[in-house]
Structure 1
Amino acid sequence: MHRIINKWIGVFVYPFFILFFSPVAQTQEADFDSIYKTTLDLAFKKSSLLLKQTQPNDIPFGELYIANLNDVLELIFSENEARYEQLKQNEANRIRLLKNAGDNSPYVGFIEGEIKLQWAFVKLKFGNTLSGVWSLRSAYKTVKDNIKAHPEFTLNYKTMGLLQVIFGAVPDNQRWILNILGLEGDVKNGLAQLKTLAEAPTPFAIEATLISSMIESYLLEEHEVALTTLKNNASTDKTMSEVYITALILMKAHKAQEAAIILREALDKPATNTPLLFEYLLAEALFQGGNYGQAKTHYLTYISQFQGRNQLKDSRMKVAMCEYFLGKNASFKRYWEEAIQTTGATSEADKNAEALLQAGSLPNFKLLQIRYAIDGGYYKLANRTISRLDLATLTSAETHEVTYRKARLFHLTNDYEQALALYEEVVSNTEQLPETYLAPNAYLQMGYIKMELNEKKAAELYFKKVLEFKKHPYKNSLDSKAKIALSTLYASGD
């Protein structure tokens, strides 16, 4: 189960920690607002100092939450092992303070559950899998008890809704673990709880709306809905954490060029609190658009300064690819070998890099160039590269991959008729594509198109086809998306 949970760490759950108190900050005194915004701006030392000087009391035990958020965000963005050893005891200390407070406020259980939830993902990120999963279970039990004691406290359903979505996304072949741990998940119910909170007359309505939009983007692939929500709820002066969230969704929505603009603006600010992860994300956006010289610079900055392990293998591989596309064969070979020797981490990017690096032979870099261009929304670059391919030199599997890439281009440019025809061509050759994600993802994308066209029976058929594939690199991810799509397919009651 930890593999599917780890999937959410960098791109799904952590952004919610960043947003958690944003609507509340609008109603607090200046001191509380100042501390909170400093935390969101990822200025961790300054935030800790301000918290010592001012004890905000507008929200019961709010100072514990802010202090915990400060620790959690610092560890998530830095991945500093030594700092993790220094800070990890704070979880138990804060929970002890809450339990000894003798206060019947619903905020006690609520904040306790949030502290456990946040540290669960930190533990998973630092490789403490069993402890992390157990903390998730403890957070679930705490919130469930708080719901029983304070059913009228609507913030309970924000936390429980998020946990429901996370557990509901666990693939069927791993759900036995949830049963053993006494955990229940249902994406549809989780989304409904979050959306109910978003419509309620509470300061947390905006935050719940933002969480729902993240789920729409990352689980349902309804990126434009998510971006519209972000735009409608955007602040005039974005903190570093808000830039991070916006950039993530833009890149997920195939809008890497727009993501690059806001990331560059953040990095150009005369501040010391911009996380190194921004260097990596900007490098990714530039790499997808074929700006290999600039991308290389940002990848190397990330590699030379980052104190964690994630994305380092992928970054070195991408630097090698930049050199390849720039015609620098000697340095390409050196960086490619360095990437092979780099110990990979838990990130999906590193796992993908590992598969390419250990394939036994070099990949077809032109096909990778097409893939990355499509991912970033650089459709003209992708089309131009496809038109220059010598199809006669491609293997059978590579020819089918080109068909799949063309289908993606037609799909993303809203030519559903052409996209469906090419997706059908891909799945009709499933036997020639063993253990690749092309056929199952083609079925998934056809399902999404049929959903868009309100052809629910056809969509259901395609989503079920995704689940029939036994082995491929993205099985957990694609199975989860297909399962979630099936659970929401008839939500309107049609």
Structure 2
Amino acid sequence: MAARQAYGELFKLRIESARALLRPELQRAPASAGTLLVADCIDFTELLIRQDAGRYEAVVAAQDRRLEALEKSAERGPLRDYARAEIRLHQAAAQVAFQHEVQGAWSLRQAYQLMQATSQRYPGFLPARKTLGIMQFFIGSLPEGYHWFLKLLGLPGSVALGGQNLRAAAQRPHDFQPEAQIILALVQETYYKKADEALRLADRLVAQQPDNLLFSYLLISLNKRQHRTDAALAAYRARPTGPAYLPVAYLHHMAADLLLYQGQYAASRRANQQFLQQYQGVHYRKDAAFKLYLAAWLGGDAPAAEQYRRQISAPGRTVVEEDTYAQRFYEGKLPLNRVLTRARFQLDGGYYREALATLRGFTATASQPLRDRLEDPYRRARAYHGLGRLDSARLFYTRTMALGSKTPYYFAPQSALQMGYLCQTDGQLNLARLYFQQVLDSPKHEYKNSTDAKAKVALAGLGR
């Protein structure tokens, strides 16, 4: 009971309350599988959200001790086997996040094998199918370039099997059903364009638990990804706050983007500065500096813009695509076009009519950089797509692909991806396959990993 209550507090991101509830149980039954699993979930969640490298070694050492205790435990059954696999998976994720990729790959292999064995031994134990499904789906969606490595590790991913296992775990009650429901909803929204289901789930969860910061985070993120800026900012401002909650610095980075979309440049700068002050990790720092640059530049503050532009070049990781894009901007030294940049953020915010009005201020000429001549039709396509004017969207997507299929920019591959989705919706499945394959065949660009993953999942759904 104490472990279940502690897990409930953890799910609300009330870390210290979760630890306090679990402490007596750890003293009473230090080798209990459920207790050790929740203790690890607490440490792992705090490590990944805070991104505190100073805590990494201690967390991994604690995971090793928990795994050893479970190995020696007299407890038997599905929960013990599940806890071993889940803790090993947490360790893999921590190792990769903190730049120990080789150890992380080996831990992932162990976690996969343990979870697969648990699922086979206890086919009715739904938590195992939840985590096995996650691993199967995401390994199966990785781009072709990773396949040799996955084959070497013996990790057979499968988008179809992963989806089946996730759905089974999401549809029937068990202690970890909310996890399965959230992950399945995110998969459906990201890879299958089924955003409405995900938004309904997030709305329902927040209504049921308005004091749950994780659910609020989910609602903010989904609304942002679906270009519903007003709703996302409303959820951000209504989120639960206070010292009981684990500080989630990334929330301020998301808010900075949302304010940028609205043209609230000073407020966007304040939110990103708050993010950088609170954040202890190495990812998204270049992206934050880039967004600070853009807010200052669009807001007419040239001295601050130049200061933020130089900040992009500070030492840091470029693993996440947003940081890669920021670094590429800095190194490219090709100035951005103010009209196209403003339109881009209006589109990201879901302000499609405003974006089209802004784009009327841009006229393509042969003397302009190719990137700008590609971005113009792509932005128009996205605006028409957002307004449901699909014939116009197809026209401008096609124009973008014709002009930029061999260029190192994301506009043509993204156009091909969207055309694939449109053809899929219209029942033109063979044509959809051609467009999705065109995405995979595109040259390297800023968002190739994520764009290729979406195309690969789409092809798998079409029975490639």
Question: How would you bin the TM-score normalised by the shorter chain?
Answer: over 0.9
- Residue pairs, 1:291-440, within 5 angstroms: 291-392=264-365, 394-430=368-404, 434-440=407-413
User: In 2 relative to 1, CA 267–319 (structure 1 residues): closer, same or farther, beyond 3 Å?
Assistant: farther
Partner SS for 2:312: helix
Partner SS for 2:105: helix
> Hey, what does 1:200 align to over in structure 2?
172
Contact 1:80 1:308 in 2 (8 A): yes
The one-letter code of the counterpart of 1:289 is Q
User: In 2 relative to 1, CA 117–426 (structure 1 residues): closer, same or farther, beyond 3 Å?
Assistant: same
State how far apart, in whole Å, the 1-side matches of 2:327 and 2:309 are: 11
**Residue 477 (structure 1) aligned to one of 407, 425, 450:** 450
Q: Kindly report the root-mean-square deviation, in angstroms, between the aligned alpha carbons of the 2 structures.
A: 2.3
Partner SS for 2:125: coil
> Hey, what does 2:193 align to over in structure 1?
221
> Hey, what does 2:16 align to over in structure 1?
45
Partner SS for 1:428: helix
Structure 1 stretches lacking a partner, 5+ long: 1-28
State how far apart, in whole Å, the 2-side matches of 1:210 and 1:263 are: 19
Pair 1:144 & 2:120 matched: no
C-alpha distance after superposition, 1:180-229 (max 9, x if no partner)? 11110111111011112333354554543322111012223332232133
State how far apart, in whole Å, the 2-side matches of 1:153 and 1:60 are: 18
Q: In the TM superposition, what is the alpha-carbon distance from 1:354 to its structure 2 partner?
A: 0.7
The one-letter code of the counterpart of 1:104 is R
> Hey, what does 1:262 align to over in structure 2?
235
**Residue 104 (structure 1) aligned to one of 76, 96, 101:** 76
The one-letter code of the counterpart of 1:118 is H
C-alpha distance after superposition, 1:333-365 (max 9, x if no partner)? 122112223524422221111111111232223
User: In 2 relative to 1, CA 490–403 (structure 1 residues): closer, same or farther, beyond 3 Å?
Assistant: same
State how far apart, in whole Å, the 2-side matches of 1:151 and 1:120 are: 24
State how far apart, in whole Å, the 2-side matches of 1:202 and 1:79 are: 30
> Hey, what does 1:65 align to over in structure 2?
37
The one-letter code of the counterpart of 2:182 is L
**Residue 66 (structure 2) aligned to one of 86, 90, 94:** 94
Contact 1:37 1:239 in 2 (8 A): no
> Hey, what does 1:4 align to over in structure 2?
none
> Hey, what does 1:154 align to over in structure 2?
126
Pair 1:277 & 2:250 matched: yes
State how far apart, in whole Å, the 2-side matches of 1:406 and 1:418 are: 9
- Residue pairs, 1:76-95, within 5 angstroms: 76-95=48-67
Q: Which has the higher contact order (CA 8 A, sep 6+)?
A: 1
C-alpha distance after superposition, 1:122-156 (max 9, x if no partner)? 11111111111111111001112223332332332
State how far apart, in whole Å, the 2-side matches of 1:486 and 1:427 are: 19
State how far apart, in whole Å, the 1-side matches of 2:383 and 2:201 are: 25
Pair 1:467 & 2:436 matched: no
User: In 2 relative to 1, CA 202–73 (structure 1 residues): closer, same or farther, beyond 3 Å?
Assistant: closer
Contact 2:211 2:240 in 1 (8 A): no
C-alpha distance after superposition, 1:267-295 (max 9, x if no partner)? 76565533111111111111122111111
State how far apart, in whole Å, the 1-side matches of 2:148 and 2:316 are: 31
State how far apart, in whole Å, the 1-side matches of 2:377 and 2:345 are: 15
> Hey, what does 1:182 align to over in structure 2?
154
State how far apart, in whole Å, the 2-side matches of 1:71 and 1:301 are: 24
**Residue 428 (structure 2) aligned to one of 423, 430, 455:** 455
Q: In the TM superposition, what is the alpha-carbon distance from 1:325 to its structure 2 partner?
A: 1.4
State how far apart, in whole Å, the 2-side matches of 1:80 and 1:171 are: 30
State how far apart, in whole Å, the 1-side matches of 2:85 and 2:449 are: 27
Q: In the TM superposition, what is the alpha-carbon distance from 1:390 to its structure 2 partner?
A: 4.5
Of 227-236 and 441-450, the range deviating more from structure 2: 227-236
C-alpha distance after superposition, 1:5-29 (max 9, x if no partner)? xxxxxxxxxxxxxxxxxxxxxxxx4
Contact 2:324 2:446 in 1 (8 A): no
**Residue 116 (structure 1) aligned to one of 74, 88, 93:** 88
State how far apart, in whole Å, the 1-side matches of 2:56 and 2:275 are: 20
Contact 2:417 2:436 in 1 (8 A): yes
The one-letter code of the counterpart of 1:303 is L
Contact 1:60 1:107 in 2 (8 A): no
Of 235-244 and 80-89, the range deviating more from structure 2: 235-244
Q: In the TM superposition, what is the alpha-carbon distance from 1:473 to its structure 2 partner?
A: 2.4
Contact 2:202 2:215 in 1 (8 A): no
The one-letter code of the counterpart of 1:325 is L
Of 46-55 and 441-450, the range deviating more from structure 2: 46-55
Query: Structure 2 length as normaliser, TM-score?
Result: 0.92
Partner SS for 2:239: helix
Contact 1:240 1:266 in 2 (8 A): yes
Contact 1:223 1:252 in 2 (8 A): no
Of 336-345 and 351-360, the range deviating more from structure 2: 336-345
State how far apart, in whole Å, the 2-side matches of 1:391 and 1:484 are: 35
> Hey, what does 1:25 align to over in structure 2?
none
State how far apart, in whole Å, the 1-side matches of 2:443 and 2:254 are: 32
Contact 1:217 1:226 in 2 (8 A): yes
Q: In the TM superposition, what is the alpha-carbon distance from 1:79 to its structure 2 partner?
A: 0.9
Q: In the TM superposition, what is the alpha-carbon distance from 1:256 to its structure 2 partner?
A: 2.7
Count of aligned residue pairs for this structure pair? 460
Query: Structure 1 length as normaliser, TM-score?
Result: 0.87
Of 482-491 and 384-393, the range deviating more from structure 2: 384-393
Partner SS for 1:469: coil
Contact 2:381 2:393 in 1 (8 A): yes
Contact 1:296 1:322 in 2 (8 A): yes
Identity %: 26
State how far apart, in whole Å, the 1-side matches of 2:214 and 2:260 are: 23
